[in-house]
Structure 1
Amino acid sequence: MTEQTGQTQESERALRSRTAPPLTAPPPRPLGEHRRWPRSFADRLSAPLPGVRAMARLAREGALRPSPQGLRGIAELPFAPGPLPAVDTATVAVTWAGHASWVVRIGGLTVLTDPVWSRRILGTPARLTPVGVRWEDLPPVDAVVISHNHYDHLDAPTLRRLPRRTPLFVPAGLARWCRRRGFTRVTELDWWESAELAVPGREPVRFDFVPAHHWSKRSLTDTCRSLWGGWVLGDRRGQRVYFAGDTGYGHWFKEIGRRHPGLDLALLPIGAYAPRWWLRDVHADPEEAVQACEDLGARRMAPMHWGTFVLSAEPVLEPLARVRAAWERTGRPRAHLWDLPVGASRVLAA
């Protein structure tokens, strides 16, 4: 069997697994393996990308940023940096650094999600809130997970701060970008695949890559050339944190919950949703994020992807008010909504 034929069969198996999951989860993939992928992942889109008419409508309406009144809440954005909590191998702790960047402590490891420590990203104004954790206050970073390649989730200046032997876990098709920048331990996964990282003196942690309702693009010529998704991080005690990355609402949440029952915490995006006709397919609004948490069967929810960068037209404080109201309507314990200020932490005891 040629390598290309083997890759074709591997891609077909991955496509079938989206609707017909195996009875048992496949074993973890080897770390750092070099793999071949299809030229495009456009067949994974949940909805067609906007066309010329939609772009023209957006230009006519000009609803790209909040109104002056919607920006008045900037001074009230919650920002309360504090020291990272002390943890052991049995403790899970999360700290919101802002946007989709979290410091996740699990199994004794320190894992960064979509780390963006830059003051600004391409095409947007500067950050509304500072980074919640100073880079020099981070413990040694044991791993990084990337959800997709958009600039507010994959930030080259931040990654350059890391040692090049830092393990990176990335979507299918993105390893080449990372390796070109000198990273030597890059593991790229397809949906429903996993890998496991064992660090001496710590517990092994499993990284499962799961679907999202989104897309990828970093230049004019690479639309959907790499995959997009979220991550489930789990330790040997069965404690698991779901990091959604960037996603709209849709059917994948129930499937993720079915394959990963009993999630302890879901880190879910609630911002960058207006105008709704433009962003509905790729960005969940606060009410949809709460419904996604319900679909997942997650015990707790921590909102993210709001209050950091101005990416859309909703008032800057609106996502927080709406997610709190939506959560209250569910009747679930208020303490299970971890609506953290930027820089704050929560600990999940074993």
Structure 2
Amino acid sequence: MHVQLQQALQQARQQRQQLQQWRHVSCHDDQLLDFSSNDYLGLRRHAQVLKAYCDGVRDYGAGSGASPLVNGYQRPHRYLSERLAEWLGREAVVLFNSGFAANHSLLSTIGRHYQQVLLDRLAHASLLDGAQASGSRWRRFSHNDVHAAGQFAAQQAQTLLVTESVFSMDGDQAPVAQLREACPAADILVDDAHGIGLLGADGRSCAAQYSATEVDYLTITFGKAFGVGGAAIACRQEVAEYLHNFSRELVYSTAFAAAQAQAINAALSIIQSAEGQRLRDTLQHNIQQFHDLCLRYGLPITRQPAAIQTLILGAESRALRLSEQLREQGIDCRAMRPPTVAAGQSRLRIVISARHQPAQIQQLVLAIAAALEQVSDDPVSL
């Protein structure tokens, strides 16, 4: 390794360590009570999803073998794309390996044909990176600030406005209807990663409220409510064809396995079924129980209707210490720190799931209340 590179890496590490922002990868402990994962409906261990995955491996192998434009696009992929397009009321659906790849691909290819790209300030890193890669003028408006978005949109005729249905670090929702009214000439992209499967009629989230002429592009992911992995863009047919020709993330990546597509299809069937509605109802009941218990024990959470709840703690050290205290109590609930969130906004990101039992939610709230007392008495964590 070149000495200058080694020095740069060491300096970057030291800077982040001093700010208590250095991260490392560790294996998840299955013995811990999980309040961190985005498996909102508990489908990643659902018997039908697991069976579909296993059957897919038997029938199609462990991998797809090639990119979608070679021969990696197989019958389960096509079936999934067609089902999703019908379910979401869009002409076409393009499959990607991840939500990051989907967002970056769409904005870096389609975004270049707009005079400006407007993003909510809390839009996901993949959206920001894609806007930067597009080569078009891009700017951010204050979080959920409809007036600011309207002012910016009025300055350019060809505007792409970018937001999220549910924001991943705060759990709040975008005012899509008001944004449409404030920016009537803009095309709109909604990243529906944390809403799809959970919100709206039949779990269709944004697609249940807005047609393809009202919201031009939808990004959905399969690693959250679907419990599997991968992502898709729902759009017009001509956009899908353009992506198949110009999206580098699509053209030059091996497609995810047909077995994975079969597992996603199984998850979609559950989401569309009466069982899916029961799971959504259970999730809402669990969220309400969490809110009620937090109120009873005086926990200053930001009450959100979505599965993502936050406890703002400010300092990185305080958030890390509280997360460690919970882990010692057998609970996995992670601290979120800059640069993922704004400076001074370190927090616990608490994810409620349909799989949680009432006793487990009570266990979490009591553990947070006890840990908060310890952290408040610890001058190192203030």
Q: Which has the larger radius of gyration?
A: 2
TM norm. shorter chain > 0.5: no
Structure with bigger helix share is: 2
Q: TM-score, normalised on structure 2?
A: 0.30
